[in-house]
Amino acid sequence: MTIALSSRMPSGSISRRIAVWSGLILFAVILAAVPWFSTFAVQRLLVEALTLFAIALAWNLLAGYGGLVAVGLHVFVGVGAYALFATSNQLHLNPWMLLPAAAVFAATFALISAWPMFRLSGAHFAVGTWVLAEMMRILTLNSPSLGAGGGMPLEAMGDFDRWTRNAGVYWAALMVGAGSLIVARAVLRGPLGLALMSVRDSEPAALASGVPVSRSKIALWVLCAAMTGLAGAVAYMNTLQVTPDASFSLNWTAAAIFIAVLGGIGTLEGPIVGTIVYFALREFFADYGAWYFIGMGLLAIATMVAAPGGAWSLLPQRWRFDPFRVRRLMPELGPDRHASTPALNHDL
């Protein structure tokens, strides 16, 4: 049993908790009610933002907490989307009911792929996952049963009217976005998070103190694959048609990396900040075509050189509050002292 120090902070007082929870519930109600007071275009944009947020969060968990940089994370976007489309079209089932199946399929695929991929480490793992994504792209491109290069539509979506379809996809995206944040927070506060952070700080030390290093990394890999696969499935429910070149496209990972780098790698707040910045930039500058991508690339390079911790690290130390309470502090230290040291007060 692990006690994250955040629960001992004075901020856990009853009145404050009530304020936080009522604020969260109000926010959730407003978000859930979006389909009644917005256009389809807004909903589609929000679906894009929420699914991309979940993918960026998964990339950030892998890179920032597991030390697993996956340049080929987009393989799970495609696998999740194709799993949903193929099973729904084959079995003529409601695609919303099949979303868990897409997540399970992506997780299974991740578990199998861990066998060759975890032979590689560091930068080699990063490029190795990209090889995996390329393989899956070429394979679907050459599979007539999956529609080959033209891809396939989600036939069951024709049974629903336009409002239900859009609202349903939006609610699914909301569940994916909020759900992955909740899961990520729970994981980081739990034993897996403790293990991962100890590996991040010093792998040999973690190994020596009995942390199951490779098992923890594989668990994180499978979890992030499920998150990415689910997000991919919902993202393609939004577009109604999946193609190999779009779903197994590096652009998914590039956007996720951009969001994580800009917001701050190794934090939960980073992807939230990054997603907002990413979509704001895209809405304003996407019309500039190639110049937009050149600007984005240069911005990412500048961030890596000047502020490798991303936007979140630019906040002054005392404003850097910990809304998700995933930071672990030594019991002797005051709550204002920043440290990523694992808690020592756990009774094993």
Partner 1 sequence: MQIMAETFLNGLMLGALYAVFGLGLSLSLGVMRMINIAHGDLIVVGAYLTSVVMSAIGIGPFAALVLVVPMMFGLGWVMQILLLNRVVGRDALAPLLLTFGLSIVLQNILQELFTADTRSLQAGDLASLGFEFGGVSIGVLPLLSTAASFALLGVTHWLIGHTHFGRQARAVSDDPDTARLVGVNDRRFFAVVTGFIFSLIGMAAVLYALRTPFSPTAGPERLLYSFEAVVLGGLGNIWGTLFGGLVIGVAQLFGAKISSGLGPFFGHLVFLIALLAFPQGLFRRSAS
Q: Which residues bind partner 1 (CB under 8 A)?
A: 63, 69, 71, 115-116, 119-120, 122-124, 126-128, 130-132, 134-135, 138-139, 141-142, 250, 254, 257, 261, 265, 290-291, 293-294, 296-298, 300-301, 304-305, 308
Least CB distance from residue 55 to partner 1, whole Å?
16
Shortest gap between Cβ of 136 and partner 1 (angstroms)? 9
Instruction: Tell me the two tokens of residue 218.
Output: 């594989």
Question: Cβ of residue 22: shortest distance to partner 1, in angstroms?
Answer: 40
The distance of closest approach from Cβ of residue 108 to partner 1 in the complex, given in angstroms and rounded to an integer, is 17
Please name the amino acid found at residue 220: L
Kind of pairing, strands 241-242 and 152-153? antiparallel
Q: Which amino acid is at 137?
A: R
- Tell me how far, at minimum, the Cβ of 10 lies from partner 1, in Å: 36
DSSP structure string for 218-286? HHHHHHHHHHHHHHHHHHHHHHSEE-HHHHT-HHHHHHHHHHHHHH-TT-SHHHHHHHHHHHHHHHHHG
Nearer to partner 1, 42 or 114 (CB): 114
- Which helix (H) or strand (E) segment holds residue 152: the answer is strand 152-153
Residue among 30, 26, 8, 6 at smallest CA distance from 18: 26
- Which residue, 295 or 331, has its beta carbon nearer to partner 1? 295
Task: State the Cα–Cα distance between residues 212 and 190, nearest whole angstrom.
Answer: 14
Nearest-approach distance from CB 244 to partner 1, in angstroms? 11
Instruction: Tell me the closest approach of the beta carbon of residue 285 to partner 1, in angstroms.
Output: 13
Nearer to partner 1, 237 or 256 (CB): 256
Q: Which two tokens stand for residue 219?
A: 């668990």
- Whether the CB-CB separation of 238 and 45 falls below 8 Å is answered with no
| 3-state secondary structure (DSSP) of residue 63 | helix
Angle between helices 74-91 and 250-263 (to 10 degrees): 130
